[in-house]
């Protein structure tokens, strides 16, 4: 077979793929869409997407169903997405652990950079260093002093190994010298329940999952994880200003689809997510639970993920964090 014929067949194949993808996108969506949340009910990711799902359903003309699949440091749910047909009917929500897992796990069930395609960065979510009211600390400095005076006496909860709460606390202990014991749960909801009941003493709680408890006094907020105070809880200082200079961590949520999903389908999903986030009622509700709506392009999310991978590669290696 000569080179001219090979080039012709290659071009024909490429054109046929583009046509097939375009044809599939024209009728998209023709059935319900599943959004896999790799954490339990009640965490920040779950809270945000249960706000978005009904409005996305309206815009897409098909039901958008939230499906919680916790476990495996958020890899079980995302692996289901990676191995689903690339047709736009199975979405996954990546978060901070997505950028950290490749450096914390000796074996990943999927390739973070090759098996999933970005759609949109949906939200950035600040966290709050929180303690149960029984803990004799009312400031970041007091908590650090307590943890240093009695190393290992304080338990801290998380939504699971490699979750945002886990990584935020590990970075905090690394930067402050505080010593605490990790207690992983299967989701942000169970982690919040554990500290409310006094089972754990400390939690870097996402604002959406815990804002009501700060307002009622059932949790004491010592410091916000971002460099600026959060409008939802303006009375709580940042961790950086309250005792650990330079400390900054965001939880984040980005929609991903299986690699190979037609670009036209990704474009449609991206457009509808951005439009949904711009609806005043949605924007208000998302802000009301302490999340910051973003609505990026697929390219912007890809760049963001590369930055996260670079950041957590350095932090995890330096801090020596492993979960297997």
Query: How far is residue 62's CA from residue 54's CA, in Å, rounded to a whole number?
Result: 10
Alpha-carbon distances, residue 177 vs 33, 120, 305 (angstroms)? 45, 36, 28
pTM for this model (two decimals): 0.79
Q: Are β-strands 155-158 and 181-184 bridged in parallel, bridged antiparallel, or unpaired?
A: parallel
Mean confidence (pLDDT) of the chain: 90
Query: How far is residue 280's CA from residue 287's CA, in Å, rounded to a whole number?
Result: 10
Query: How far is residue 290's CA from residue 292's CA, in Å, rounded to a whole number?
Result: 7
Alpha-carbon distances, residue 243 vs 142, 216, 223, 224, 287 (angstroms)? 9, 25, 9, 11, 27
DSSP state letters, 131-156 = E-TTSS--SHHHHHHHHHHSTT--EE
**Complete domains list, the chain, with CATH:** 32-123+252-319 (3.40.190.150), 127-242 (3.40.190.10)
Give residue 164's pLDDT.
86
pLDDT band at 206 (very low <50, low <70, confident <90, very high): confident
pLDDT band at 87 (very low <50, low <70, confident <90, very high): very high
- Look at the block and give the residue holding tokens 């046509």: 19
Query: How far is residue 109's CA from residue 121's CA, in Å, rounded to a whole number?
Result: 23
Query: How far is residue 52's CA from residue 70's CA, in Å, rounded to a whole number?
Result: 20
Give residue 181's pLDDT.
95
Give residue 156's pLDDT.
98
Burial class for 310, CB neighbours closer than 10 Å (0-12, 13-18, 19+): exposed
Residue 220 structure tokens: 């004491």
Give residue 10's pLDDT.
52
């Amino acid at each position: 077979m000569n080179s001219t014929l090979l080039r012709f067949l290659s071009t024909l194949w490429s054109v046929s793929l583009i046509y097939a993808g375009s044809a599939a996108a024209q009728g998209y969506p023709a059935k319900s869409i599943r959004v896999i949340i790799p954490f339990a009910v009640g965490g920040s990711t779950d809270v945000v997407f249960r706000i978005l799902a009904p409005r996305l359903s309206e815009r897409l003309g098909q039901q958008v169903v939230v499906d919680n699949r916790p476990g495996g440091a958020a890899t079980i749910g995302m692996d289901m997405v990676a191995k689903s047909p690339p047709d736009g009917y199975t979405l996954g929500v990546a978060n901070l652990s997505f950028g950290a897992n490749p450096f914390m796990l000796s074996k990943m069930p999927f390739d973070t950079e090759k098996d999933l395609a970005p759609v949109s960065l949906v939200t950035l979510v600040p966290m709050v260093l929180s303690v149960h009211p029984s803990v004799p600390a009312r400031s970041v400095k007091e908590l650090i002093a307590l943890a240093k005076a009695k190393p290992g006496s304080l338990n801290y909860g998380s939504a699971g190994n490699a979750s945002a709460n886990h990584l935020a606390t590990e970075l905090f202990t690394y930067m402050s010298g505080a010593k605490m014991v990790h207690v992983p749960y299967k989701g942000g909801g169970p982690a919040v329940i554990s500290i409310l009941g006094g089972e754990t003493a400390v939690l870097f709680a996402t604002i959406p999952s815990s804002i009501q408890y700060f307002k009622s006094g059932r949790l004491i907020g010592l410091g916000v994880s971002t460099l600026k105070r959060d409008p939802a809880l303006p009375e709580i200082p940042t961790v950086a200003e309250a005792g650990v200079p330079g400390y900054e961590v965001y939880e984040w949520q980005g929609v991903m689809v299986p690699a190979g999903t037609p670009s036209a389908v990704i474009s449609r999903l991206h457009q509808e997510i951005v439009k949904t986030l711009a609806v005043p009622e949605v924007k208000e509700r998302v802000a009301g639970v302490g999340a910051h709506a973003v609505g990026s392009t697929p390219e912007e999310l890809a760049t963001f993920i590369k930055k996260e991978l670079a950041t957590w590669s350095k932090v995890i290696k330096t801090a020596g964090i492993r979960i297997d």
